[in-house]
Chains A and B, each alone.
Chain A
Amino acid sequence: MRFSMLTASAVALIAVAATSAQAQTTLTIGTVNNSDMIRMQGLTPEFEKAHPDIKLNWVTLEENILRQRVTTDIATGGGQFDVMTIGTYEVPIWAKQEWLKPLDGLGDEYDVDDLIPAIRSALSNDGKLYAAPFYAESVLTLYRKDLFEKAGLTMPEKPTWDFIAEAAEKVTDKDAGVYGICLRGKPGWGENMGFLGNMAREFGANYFDADWKPQFESEGWKKAVTLYVDLMTKYGPPGAASNGFNENLQLFGQGKCGMWIDASVAASFVTDPKQSQVPDQVGFGAAPCGIEGCPNDGFNWLWAWSLAIPNSSQKAEAAQTFISWATSKEYLELVAEKEGWANVPPGTRTSLYENPKYTEAAPFAGATLNAIQHADPSPTDDKPYYGLQFAAIPEFQGLGTAVGQQMAAALSGSTSVEQALSQAQAIATREMTRGGYIKN
C-alpha cells in the first residue's frame, strides 16, 4: 500500500514536471543597451520565478542595428522576436501596416489608465494600444546652477530663446573651457533633427503643412536655424557638428557646458556622481519657447522606448504576460526595492509622480513630468502627422537624415543657413512628391 502510494506520487510528480517542461515558453526579446533595459535584464530571475512557464532570452543590439534587424524580420515575417523594443516613431507606422499585435491582454491589474495620457496616445492607433511604454522622455533645459549664480542669472519658469541667448553669452568662459550652450550637431533624423525639429516648433513651425508641403523655408525654421547656428558658433564647443547626445553628455558631465537642451533622460546621468563631475550643480528648466506669450503646450518633444509584439510571433500570450510585468506599477516598485527610487524607469505612469518617495529621490521628476504632459504628438489641423520632433511616416528617416546633413553643414560653416534651408526644402519636396504625398 505504502509502496503504491509512493509510486503514485512519484508518477504524479514526474507527470507534473514533464508537463511543466513541455509547456515552458522561451521569449526572445530584442532590445537596446541602456541602463534601464540592462537593469531589467538583471531582474529576469524575478520574472521567471513568478512565471515558471516562461523563460526570457535577451538579444541586446546597438540602436541602428536593432532597428534594421527588427524591420527586416518583421517585414519578412521571420518571427525571430517575440517582444521588441521600439520607439514612438515606429509604433504608429507599424501599427498601420498591421505589423504589431494589439495589446489587449495585459490583465485587469495593469491599470492602463495610469499611463500618462500623452504617452498612451502616442502608442495607440484607432484607440487600441500597440506598445507599452517602458520609459519615456521629453526635453529639458539642463543648466549649471553655480555658473548661473556667478553670472547673476535665474532660470525662469518658462525660459524664452532670448533668455537662453543672453545666458549663453554671460556664462561662456572659453579660457576656462566653459561653453555657454551645448546642442546636438551630429546629422541624423534622431540626432540633430530631433533637436532642431523641436526648436522649429518652438518658433511655431512644423515639418509639413496640412497638404504635406515641407516647411523648411518658413519663417519659423529660418528663425530657429539662424539662432541655432549663431549661438553655437559664438558660445558652443568646438566641433559641435559632430556632437550627438552622448558627446554632449560627456561635455556636460565634465563641466564644460553652461546649458544643454536635450532629452530629459540626460538628467539622471548628469546627477549621478559615478558619471558626472558636476552632479550637485545641475538645474532643470523647461524647454525654451520662441513665440511671444510662450504657449508652451504641445511644443515639447516626446519619445518612449516601448515594448511591442510583432505579428509574426507565435507566443503572443506569453509575450503579453511579460510586457504586462515589465511596464507595471509592481515592476517600478521592484526596481525601487532593489536599486533605489532614483533608478526607476521614468515618464510612463502618473502614479509614479504622485509617489513622494520618487519625487524626493529624483530631483528632476517634476520638470520631466511637466515636459511630458505638455507634449501631444497627435495630428492637428495644421500638422497632418503623428510626432513632434519627428514625423511618423516611413519616408522621414531618410529625409530627416538628408536634411540633418544640410543643417550640420550650416553649423560647420561650409554653407549658409539660407542655402541649407533651401536645399532642405528641395530634398524634402522631392522625397514627398516621390512618396505620393504631394500631388502634382
Chain B
Amino acid sequence: MARNVSTGRKIGTTALAWFVGLVIFFPILWTFLTSFKTELQAISIPPVFVGFDWTLENYQTIQTQSNYFHFMANSIYLSLGSTALGLIVAVPAAWAMAFSPTKRTKDILLWMLSTKMLPAVGVLIPVYLMFIKFGLLDSRLGLIVVLFLINLPIIVWMLYTYFKEIPGEILEAARMDGASLRKEITQVLAPMAVPGIASTVLLNVILSWNEAFWTLNLTTSNAAPLTAFIASFSSPQGNFYAKLSAASMLAIAPILIVGWFSQKQLVRGLTFGAVK
C-alpha cells in the first residue's frame, strides 16, 4: 500500500536524487567532454564546460596509435570466458551449500571470501613463475583462469544468497516426482533463480572487464585487454589528458552500453533477497 506523500516532499526527494545522480555521474561526463577537447583546452583554468571547439582529433590519434579492436576483443573474451567458467563451478557449489548445508558450510563460505582479503601483489611473483612454467604468460587462457579464480568467491556468495531465497520444498517436490539431480537443477532451480544468475553474470562481467592488476601484469600484447589500452596513454612527460579521456571513453563504452540495457535486471538482481 502506497503512503501518502506530499508533493513538496516528492519534489524535494526527486531533486536530491537527481543531484546525487549527477554528482556520481559527473566524472564520466567530464571525461566525455574532455575527450573532445584539445590538450590545451583540457588543462585550461578556469575549465571550459561546453563552449570549446569540439574535435575528434583525440579519437583519431588513438586509432592510429593503437589497435582498439584487438584490445576490445580480448576484454570480451576474458570477461565472458571467466564468467562462464565461474558459473560452471559456482552453480553446483552454491546449490550444495544452499540446499544441503553442513555444520561447516558457513565456515567454508567465509574462508572462500577471505582469499579476497589478500593483497594481489603478494602473490604476483609465485603466480608469475607458474605462468612461465606453464607457458601461460600473455595468453587469454591463463588470464581467464586467474580472473575466474579471483571472482569465484563473489559468484558463489551471490548465487548462495539467491538460492537461499528459493524454498527447499519446491526442490523436494520435484524430487518426489522423480526428477533427477540434473533435471532438478536445470529445470526447477535455474528458471527460478534467473534474475539472481543474470545479475551475478552482469556483475562478474563488469568486474572482469575492469580488473587492472592481473590483466596488466600477466599480459604484454597478445592477450592485453582494454586496461592495458588505457594505461598506454598516460604520459610521464607531456600533456595527455584529452587523449587519455578519449581512450577511457572507448574502453568503458561497451560495458556502459551493456549496463544501460540490462539496468533492470541488474537492479532487480542486486535487491533480490534484500526485501522480503
Residues of A within 8 A of B (CB): 28, 30, 32-35, 38, 41-42, 57-63, 65, 68-69, 72-73, 75-81, 245-246, 249-250, 253-254, 263, 265-266, 269, 274-277
| Further 17 A-B residue pairs, CB within 8 A, beyond A59-B224, A246-B238, A275-B40 | A28-B221, A33-B234, A38-B65, A59-B221, A59-B232, A62-B231, A65-B231, A68-B217, A72-B128, A73-B128, A75-B125, A76-B128, A76-B132, A78-B131, A246-B236, A249-B237, A253-B40
Any chain A CB within 8 A of the CB of B137?
yes
A30 to B43, CA, bound (A): 28
A134 to B23, CA, bound (A): 44
The answer to whether B238 touches A269 (Cβ under 8 A) is yes
A350 to B134, CA, bound (A): 47
| Chain B interface residue count, Cβ-Cβ cutoff 8 angstroms | 33
A72 to B233, CA, bound (A): 22
Residues of A within 8 A of B234 (CB): 33, 62-63
Return the chain A residue nearest B234 by Cβ: A62
Any chain A CB within 8 A of the CB of B13?
no
- From A68, A73, A250, give the contact of B43 (CB < 8 A): A250
Q: Closest Cβ of chain B: how far from A424's Cβ, in Å? A: 25
Q: A33-B232, A62-B231, A78-B128 are in contact. Are A249 and B238 (CB under 8 A)?
A: yes
The answer to whether A28 touches B220 (Cβ under 8 A) is yes
From A68, A250, A269, residue with most partner B Cβ within 10 Å: A250
The answer to whether A254 touches B45 (Cβ under 8 A) is yes
The answer to whether B237 touches A265 (Cβ under 8 A) is yes
Q: What 1/0 flags go to B65-78 for Cβ under 8 Å of A?
A: 11000000000000
Q: Closest Cβ of chain A: how far from B177's Cβ, in Å? A: 56
The answer to whether B125 touches A34 (Cβ under 8 A) is no
A69 to B232, CA, bound (A): 13
A225 to B137, CA, bound (A): 46
Return the chain A residue nearest B131 by Cβ: A78
A35 to B235, CA, bound (A): 9
CB neighbors of A among B20-64 (8 A): 38-40, 43-45, 64
The answer to whether A245 touches B220 (Cβ under 8 A) is no
From A33, A42, A69, A72, residue with most partner B Cβ within 10 Å: A33
Q: A80-B138, A254-B44 are in contact. Are A32 and B236 (CB under 8 A)?
A: yes
Sampled A-B contacts (19; CB under 8 Å): A34-B238, A35-B235, A59-B220, A59-B221, A61-B231, A61-B232, A62-B232, A62-B236, A63-B236, A65-B231, A72-B125, A72-B128, A78-B131, A80-B138, A246-B239, A250-B239, A269-B239, A275-B239, A276-B40
- From A35, A60, A76, give the contact of B232 (CB < 8 A): A60
Any chain A CB within 8 A of the CB of B124?
yes
The answer to whether A60 touches B66 (Cβ under 8 A) is yes
Of all A-B residue pairs in the complex, the 9 with the closest CB atoms, nearest first, are A60-B232, A62-B234, A63-B236, A250-B43, A33-B235, A80-B220, A62-B231, A59-B220, A61-B231
Q: Main SS of chain B's interface residues?
A: loop
Residues of B within 8 A of A263 (CB): 237
The answer to whether B240 touches A78 (Cβ under 8 A) is no
Q: Closest Cβ of chain B: how far from A280's Cβ, in Å? A: 16
Return the chain B residue nearest A66 by Cβ: B231
A265 to B216, CA, bound (A): 28
Return the chain B residue nearest A276 by Cβ: B40
Any chain A CB within 8 A of the CB of B129?
yes
- From A41, A77, A254, A269, give the contact of B132 (CB < 8 A): A77
Any chain A CB within 8 A of the CB of B150?
no
A34 to B234, CA, bound (A): 9
Residues of B within 8 A of A80 (CB): 137-138, 220
A246 to B221, CA, bound (A): 27
The answer to whether A249 touches B239 (Cβ under 8 A) is yes
The answer to whether A34 touches B236 (Cβ under 8 A) is yes
Residues of A within 8 A of B233 (CB): 33
A263 to B220, CA, bound (A): 30
Return the chain B residue nearest A244 by Cβ: B236
A295 to B231, CA, bound (A): 42
Any chain A CB within 8 A of the CB of B228?
yes
Return the chain A residue nearest B233 by Cβ: A33
Return the chain B residue nearest A269 by Cβ: B238
Return the chain A residue nearest B66 by Cβ: A60
Return the chain A residue nearest B212 by Cβ: A65
From B38, B39, B138, B239, residue with most partner A Cβ within 10 Å: B239
Residues of A within 8 A of B235 (CB): 32-35, 246
Residues of B within 8 A of A265 (CB): 237
Residues of B within 8 A of A73 (CB): 128
Q: Closest Cβ of chain B: how far from A174's Cβ, in Å? A: 14
A80 to B128, CA, bound (A): 11
